[in-house]
Amino acid sequence: MPRTLLLIGTRKGAFFLESNDRKTWELRGPFCEGWPVYHLIHDPKSGAVYAAAASEWHGQAVWRSQDLGETWTHSSEGIAYDADAGRKISKVSTLAVSDGRLLVGVEAPGVFESRDEGHTWSLLSTLAGQPGSEQWDDPSNQPPGHLGISALMFDRENADRFWAIVQGVGLFETTDYAQSWTPRNRGLRADWPREHEEVGFCVHKLVRSSADGDRMYQQNHVGMHRSDDAGQTWTEITEGLPTEFGFAAATHPHDRDTFYVIPLDPGHGRTMPDGHAAVWRTRDAGSSWQRLDSGLPQRDAYVGVLREAMAVDAEDAPGLYFGTSTGQVFASKDEGDTWTQIADYLPPISSVEVAAIE
């Protein structure tokens, strides 16, 4: 049976949680010298682990470990905008890998690629010319903690096709490896004025069903949404949830209609409502929702969960995992019905990914 590896990115470095049975977990770390890690991923093809990290002092870099954390290298060679262009990179925010292509999304918004496993990088796209691009480098238009490109997601079959979220602007798709882009925000709601019809939406998290590639879900700043045509159009499915706001989301690996989300208070606190921790699940593509809180703290639990901080594995009985802004990791082996705390006292958690290790 493969081992389960949870890759935990935190504000003070990276950590691994490993288990042979998904009951007993061993913590390793911290890695990456305590740099803030925004996203930590595993490449199942090469076995490498990559971390997108940005130090207040030493800038941004992508860290790489080929031996599951025993040794690490780091590089930012090529992750830079032309000094004359006036754009600067404040952080590397998100990673995606497919078929030997490693992408990193950065702030100010841009996508860099590596074809040599993260040793060297080159600029792939800034989505220049897309509606809204004339404004998204303006710091006055950027929300606090701006991530720029906050997420990248490859198509499973076609490495020329991937999706990118520009924080506070919307979702974009390319089918020709970033030569051209199409906004994919039709049907989304926005409760604020917008200058362009197709952008100006605040997409927090995009997930795609493993069982049906046309089925996507997204947690938006305003509402949960579902797509049945791979993001071309969206339908709101918020009704039945306690709030319309949140960050983290996950799809069931085998059932396209089952989806998980963690609603948060939409104000400045952005913690679970009323101090009661809960994950919410739909089994009918958003027509109804069930509150899942067995094993989660139900008193004075003012915890947040960020956009990359929930993951689901691909076992027959899938395991769900999420990490909190207060350093706990919770796991469920029964599709969310019951939860167990498997780590505590970690630094604030930015991302949780899961990998099966042979």
From the list 20-28, 73-81, 142-150, 260-268, the region that binds other proteins by CB under 8 A is: 73-81
CB of 278 closer than 8 Å to CB of 291: yes
CB of 118 to other proteins, least distance (A): 12
Structure tokens at 287: 């027509």
CB of 115 to other proteins, least distance (A): 18
Structure tokens at 237: 């499915």
Q: Specify the residue, 81 or 177, whose C-beta has the smaller distance to other proteins.
A: 81
Q: Specify the residue, 32 or 203, whose C-beta has the smaller distance to other proteins.
A: 32
Among 1, 24, 56, 144, binds other proteins (CB under 8 A): 56
CB of 283 closer than 8 Å to CB of 263: no
Interface with other proteins, residue 77, by CB under 8 A: yes
Q: What are phi and psi of 342, to 5 degrees?
A: -110, -5
Q: Specify the residue, 5 or 92, whose C-beta has the smaller distance to other proteins.
A: 92
Among 83, 138, 157, 316, binds other proteins (CB under 8 A): 83
Interface with other proteins, residue 348, by CB under 8 A: no
Q: Specify the residue, 59 or 295, whose C-beta has the smaller distance to other proteins.
A: 59
Among 33, 155, 198, 212, binds other proteins (CB under 8 A): 33
The gap between the terminal CA atoms of the chain, to the nearest Å, is: 7
From the list 22-30, 77-85, 99-107, 163-171, the region that binds other proteins by CB under 8 A is: 77-85
H runs (alpha helix) in the chain? none
The CA distance from 310 to 323, in Å, is 7
Helix (H) or strand (E) holding 151: strand 149-154
**# chain residues binding other proteins, by CB under 8 A:** 16
Which residues are registered as beta bridge partners of 75? Answer: 62
Interface with other proteins, residue 70, by CB under 8 A: no
**What residues between 234 and 293 interact with other proteins by CB under 8 A?**
none
Among 3, 28, 74, 196, binds other proteins (CB under 8 A): 74
String of DSSP letters for 21-55 = SSSS-EEEEEEGGG--EEEEEE-TTT--EEEEEEE
Interface with other proteins, residue 61, by CB under 8 A: yes
Structure tokens at 357: 């290790």
CB of 224 closer than 8 Å to CB of 236: yes
Q: Specify the residue, 76 or 174, whose C-beta has the smaller distance to other proteins.
A: 76
Which residue, chain included where needed, has tokens 């989300």? 261
Q: Specify the residue, 3 or 12, whose C-beta has the smaller distance to other proteins.
A: 12
Among 18, 81, 194, 295, binds other proteins (CB under 8 A): 81
SS3 of 166-201: ECCCEEEEECCCCCCCEECCCCCCCCCCCCCCCCCC
Q: Strand, helix or coil at 241?
A: coil
Among 1, 24, 57, 157, binds other proteins (CB under 8 A): 57
From the list 71-79, 147-155, 186-194, 210-218, the region that binds other proteins by CB under 8 A is: 71-79
Interface with other proteins, residue 76, by CB under 8 A: yes
List all residues 6 or more positions away from 11 whose beta carbon is below 8 Å from its beta carbon. Answer: 36, 37, 347, 348, 350
Among 27, 46, 47, 80, binds other proteins (CB under 8 A): 80
311, amino acid identity: A
Residues that bind other proteins (CB under 8 A): 33, 55-59, 61, 74-77, 80-83, 88
